Amino acid sequence: MIKTYDVVIIGAGGAGLRAAVEIPKEYSCAVISKVFPPRSHTGTAQGGVCAALGNMEEDSWENHAFDTVKGSDYLGDQDAIEVMCQDAVRAIIELEHMGMPFSRNEDGKIAQRKFGGHTKPADPADPYGKRIPVMRACYSADRTGHVMLQTLYENCIKNQVSFFSEYFVTQLLVENGACSGVVAMDISTGEIHTFHAKAVVFATGGYGRAFQITSNAHVGTGDGTNLVYRAGLPLEDMEFFQFHPTGLWRLGILVSEAARGEGGILKNKDGERFMQRYAPTVMDLAPRDMVSRAIITEIREGKGIRGSDGTDYVLLDVSHLGKKVIDEKLPEITGFARTYLGVEPTKEPIPIQPTAHYAMGGIPTDIDGRVLANEKGDIVKGFYAAGECACVSVHGGNRLGTNSLLDIIIFGRRSGKAVAEFIKTADYSPLPKDTEEQTRKEIEALKTSTGKESILNIRTELQVMMMNKCGVFRNEKELKEGIEELKQLKERYKNISIQDKGNIFNTDLMEAIELGNLLDSAEATLYSAENRHESRGAHTREDYTNRDDENWMKHTFITKGNGSEPKITYKPVVITRYKPMERKY
Amino acid sequence: MELSVKILRYNPEKDSKPYFQEYKVPGVAEDWRLLDVLHEIKWKLDGTLTFRRSCAHGVCGSDGIKVNGKNRLACSILLKDLNYKKTITIEPLPAMPIIKDLVVDMTSFFQKYEVIKPYLITKTPPPPDVERFQTNEDAEKLFESAKCILCGCCTTSCPSTWTNDNYIGPAALLKTYRFVFDTRDEAPDERLDIIDNPDGIWRCHTIFNCIETCPKEINITWHISQLKTRLATREF
Ligand SMILES: Cc1cc2nc3c(=O)[nH]c(=O)nc-3n(C[C@H](O)[C@H](O)[C@H](O)COP(=O)(O)OP(=O)(O)OC[C@H]3O[C@@H](n4cnc5c(N)ncnc54)[C@H](O)[C@@H]3O)c2cc1C
Ligand code: SF4
Ligand code: SF4
Ligand code: FES
């Protein structure tokens, strides 16, 4: 069945909902999400969203921009970073005006706290000299993403946005450089629908589920990114995947950086505050890539603690903060430690290990969310992307904490605005022939397959492989092994079968399709990682230990091969005012 | 350890009515989440078992189910907190139509939530370029209610909901509190009018089922009582 809307937005996380708010009422707009909007992953974000409000101490958007550029290890596009940091203050105020409940400071303004990598010059007269942590993260206890998502959802209800909840998008319709819509399955009935639109916005989130230990929800399977890849369009900087240093041991559930922002300390098995050896000035508040490497290094040197599952962890201690601070500012995350590990954080340290957290790479866009068709900057007409699935690129090689919630509201809004402008004059691009054919065939094949492979085995092997061969530290040998393993997994995937053959709420089928998406996201990640012969941000190569600005100040664009290996091209990094320098903290 | 679970199954494409199916799940440990058990069944024993889930740590509200007679989130309850040596009984949340197995149709739950105008309503324009001021004390008065993840455990555990489909239910009332008591909101009366009727707040007889079941440990009845007081004392 064909449904027609001026705008179709895929994803009801922060990015999708913020875009939806921008579409004027006189146009029809549908938001499609595979889960109910308030169940989207944005709701799990804990620590904060940053802007140089200066509510607690002197700060400036330039400080924020510099930190973001430096945090990105100079791979972030500086024009986009400037746009984001300059607009951040307005964006946060706007959220407050929309009704978001923030924690407040003594003046009744939005409260702010420290977060990794957010700094300002110790001496204002020497802007590029020594820097000290600054309170820039706006928060609502440790439920910032939750209340942000609720607030945006509430504003969509107010604007009477049409939601298609529990619709699963399976196909992106692009032909001749133009996008005409998507194909989606109504999960509750199994019916297939074509959504014909003038403009499509992808806001489908990340793909952390490609890794064994992850902070990401089960729905984080990179569907959007992968539909783009499969449509023959490029993905950008897929080798940059962030490992958050503090996931709950064994489970990967996130313990926000807010814990360290409030004064929590990392310790190794000897009780040593090891971060002082790795980042003498900011210590535990160094950016995530550095802290994750430090933890793995400690563990490799035998300074971790062996857990009952055979993996090693280090400790995050917040007990010295006292019960009041913990209960007021970190209630949720300390609750997780209590519930899932039986650890009482007011009395004992929390066992943690790095957890796969955030995709810096994704669908390449310009600063207004327009999706790029190639590294030259041509755009795909009527196609936009924002949020974690996109790559603008503001995070470059490594995202700073609290910059993602900012990214989704800034670039969600900008794509919404660009779409609103575009649909004023644009016409519907024609739908390709037999739009639903591919989805129907794929579903039929999965339902009728009598193959011997199971979703579970292939997914687990993929996740273990990605964790071991494409994790915090990487090298050519392991990446090549990973690529070979992936090829076999993809071959075996052709032989999976599912047990549920029905139409209604077939989650067996969904998991099979999601696994296909994970395999392709992993492919783009592995090939891009193997190809980049340097260490930058979250991409750390043991065989190329230095950052190589001469050869690698450029974005990777990877395109799916047609029956052959993926193709890689490059796009230069946009540099405005911050010249690359060594990244020390 | 082998665990025995009994799950209410229903596939409208095949079954004329719901029935219990028992599974023996080997290799589980007492620090497993109940969600891990459901996954173990789905991934290893029976791919047709159907349930919702996403975050797996109690923040998205997807996996409300009834466990041994009590509504809970599958991801927020560990086996050791259940009487796991005996068979565990799992059913979908009550008082909502079953779509399939543990998946229920939450349309009416969300409709009730939308009815109370769950968004900040203001008449005075906000100050330009700065936030509206609010003391931290006033902000924190909202936090407990804002914690709600719309899982539906409370509303479907409420005896008043069971006897009357139209009862607005604790989750929507909690949301009403969230806005009525927000010092920035300028339409408390609009919302109070909506809940001030026999199918509204007055159908709550303070039976406390809702509190016992809320996975976020929200003191729902306290919030409802604040609304009742506000209603009783409001001047027209
Ligand atoms: C545990 C955790 C804590 C975090 N804390 C912070 C923090 O404190 N500060 C910060 O800045 N960042 C934080 N982040 C990162 C940040 O939360 C995310 O990057 C951001 O919320 C992503 O938002 P999004 O709108 O792009 O996507 P999401 O919120 O992930 O939404 C994706 C949407 O796409 C939909 N979708 C996906 N695939 C399909 C499909 N095939 N069909 C239909 N719909 C589909 C989903 O249903 C969902 O609605 C955290 C991340 C995690 C995991
Ligand atoms: S206290 Fe009120 S809302 Fe809660 S269960 Fe009882 S009647 Fe229902
Ligand atoms: S109040 Fe508690 S039980 Fe009710 S919907 Fe909210 S989180 Fe769930
Ligand atoms: S899966 Fe999110 S609350 Fe249980």
C-beta separation of A75 from A528 below 8 A: no
The best mutation among A246, A388, A395 to test binding of ligand 1, ranked by most ligand atoms within 8 Å of the C-beta, falls on A388
Neighbour-count burial for A151-185, b at 16+ CB within 10 Å, e otherwise: bbbbbbbbeebebbbbbbbbbbbbeeebbbbbbbb
Please state, rounded to an integer, the average pLDDT across all residues of chain B. 95
Interface predicted TM-score (ipTM) of this complex, two decimals: 0.96
Clarify whether residues B71 and B129 are in a common domain: no
Per-residue pLDDT of B28-62, as tens digits, reads: 999 999 999 999 999 999 999 999 999 999 999 99
- Contact yes or no for A76/B97 (Cβ under 8 A): no
Q: Is the pLDDT of residue A469 over 70?
A: yes
Look at residue A202 and tell me if it is in a domain. no
Q: Closest Cα to atom 1, ligand 2: which residue?
A: B206
Q: What is the mean pLDDT of residues A526-548?
A: 97
Protein residue whose Cα sits closest to atom 4 of ligand 3: B154
Q: Quick check: is A185 in a domain? A: no
Q: Do B114 and A143 touch (CB under 8 A)?
A: no
pLDDT at A10: 98
Is residue A281's pLDDT more than 90?
Answer: no
Q: Say if residue A353 is in the same domain as residue A446.
A: no
pLDDT value at position B145?
Answer: 97
Contact A203, A15 (CB under 8 A): yes
Residue corresponding to tokens 């397959």: A449
Please give the Cα distance from A516 to A169 (Å, whole number): 13
Are B206 and B120 contained in the same domain?
yes
What span, in angstroms and rounded, lies between the C-alpha atoms of A583 and B199?
62
User: Are B142 and B174 members of one domain?
Assistant: yes
The least confident of A130-139, A212-221, A323-332 is A323-332
Q: What is the pLDDT of residues B126-171, one digit of tens each?
A: 999 999 999 999 999 999 999 999 999 999 999 888 888 899 999 9
Among candidate residues A357, A374, A390, the one where a domain is terminated:
A357
How does residue A537 score in pLDDT terms, banded at 50, 70 and 90? very high
The parent domain of residue A473 ranges over 437-552
Selected catalytic residue, list A288, A370, A399, A532: A288
Residue A128 clears pLDDT 90, i.e. is over it: no
Q: Please say if the pLDDT value at position A81 is more than 70.
A: yes
pLDDT-wise least confident of A11-15, A44-48, A53-57, A188-192: A44-48
Mutation test of ligand 4: which of B34, B37, B57 has the most ligand atoms closer than 8 Å to its C-beta?
B57
| B45 and B81, same domain (yes or no) | yes
Residues B21 and B61 in one domain: yes
> Are B118 and B68 members of one domain?
no
Residue pLDDT, tens place only, A400-440: 999 999 999 999 999 999 999 999 999 999 999 989 999 99
3-state helix, strand, coil in chain A (%, to 5): 35, 25, 40
Q: Are residues B111 and B100 in the same domain?
A: no
B135 and B82 fall within a common domain: no
Please, what is the angle between helix A507-531 and helix A437-448, to 10°?
A: 110
Q: In whole angstroms, what is the distance from residue B186 CA to residue B123 CA?
A: 6
Within-domain flag for A536: yes
How many angstroms separate the most distant Cα atoms in chain B? Answer: 64
Domain boundary among A342, A357, A372: A357
pLDDT at A585 exceeding the cut of 80? no
Tokens of A102: 């923030």
Q: Which of A38, A92, A217 sits opposite B56 (nearest CB)?
A: A217
Residue B89, class by beta-carbon neighbours within 10 Å (0-12 exposed, 13-18 middle, 19+ buried)? middle
Residue A172 has pLDDT above 70, yes or no: yes
* Calpha distance A333→A302 (Å, rounded): 28
More confident residue, A171 or B235: A171
Mean pLDDT score across all residues of chain A: 95
pLDDT more than 90, % of chain A: 90
Q: Are B118 and B189 members of one domain? A: yes
Domain edge (last residue) among B81, B104, B127: B104
> Looking at residues B216-234, what average pLDDT do you find?
94
Within-domain flag for A466:
yes
User: Is A288 one of the annotated active-site residues of the chain?
Assistant: yes
Per-residue model confidence (pLDDT) at position A121: 94
pLDDT at A126: 87
Q: Which of A312, A340, A357 is the last residue of a domain?
A: A357
pLDDT of A115 higher than 90: no
Q: How far is the CA of A13 from the centre of ligand 1 (A)?
A: 6
| B59 Cα nearest atom in ligand 4 | 3
- Which chain B positions have a beta carbon within 8 Å of A92's beta carbon? 131
All residues of chain B having their beta carbon less than 8 Å from the beta carbon of residue A107 are: 133
Into how many domains does chain B fold? 2
Which CATH number characterizes residue B177's domain?
1.10.1060.10
| Nearest CA-CA distance, residue B210 and chain A, Å | 21
Q: Are strands B98-100 and B103-104 parallel, antiparallel or unpaired?
A: antiparallel
Total domain count, chain A: 2
What whole-number distance in Å separates Cα of residue A244 and Cα of residue B227?
Answer: 42
Per-residue pLDDT band for B236 (boundaries 50, 70, 90) equals low
Residue from A14, A41, A12, A46 nearest A29 by CA: A12
Strands A167-175 and A162-165: unpaired
Are residue B133 and residue B89 in the same domain, yes or no? no
Alpha-carbon distances, residue A547 vs A80, A121, A294, A384 (angstroms)? 22, 24, 17, 32
Residue A332 lies in a domain: yes
In which domain, by residue range, is B79 found? 3-104
**Domain end point (choices B104, B139, B174):** B104
Using DSSP's 3-state secondary structure scheme, residue A258 falls into helix
> What is the reported pLDDT for B161?
86
Residue B220 CB–ligand 3 contact under 6 Å: yes
| Per-residue confidence (pLDDT) for residue A561, from 0 to 100 | 87
pLDDT at A486 over 70: yes
Helix and strand counts by DSSP (H, E) for chain A: 16, 23
Question: Rounded distance, CA A83 to CA A31, Å?
Answer: 26
Tens digit of pLDDT for each residue in A431-466?
A: 999 899 999 999 999 999 999 999 999 999 999 999
Considering the domain architecture, whether residues B149 and B225 belong to the same structural domain is answered as: yes
For helices B220-233 and B170-180, give the axis angle rounded to 10 degrees. 60
Examine residue A28 and state whether it is found in any structural domain, yes or no. Answer: no
Average pLDDT of the residues in A202-208: 97
Residue A422: in which H helix or E strand, if any? helix A403-425
Quote the pLDDT of residue A414. 98
A351, A451: one domain: no
Q: A221 lies in a domain?
A: no
Distance from CA of B203 to the nearest CA of A (A): 26
Range with lowest mean pLDDT among A90-94, A576-580, B7-11? A576-580
Find the mean pLDDT for residues A193-219.
97
Helices B188-195 and B220-233: crossing angle in degrees, nearest 10, is 100
What's residue A446's pLDDT?
96
Residues B73 and B132 in one domain: no
Q: What CATH number corresponds to the domain at position B97?
A: 3.10.20.30
Among residues B36, B71, B104, the one where a domain terminates is: B104
More confident residue, A141 or A80: A80
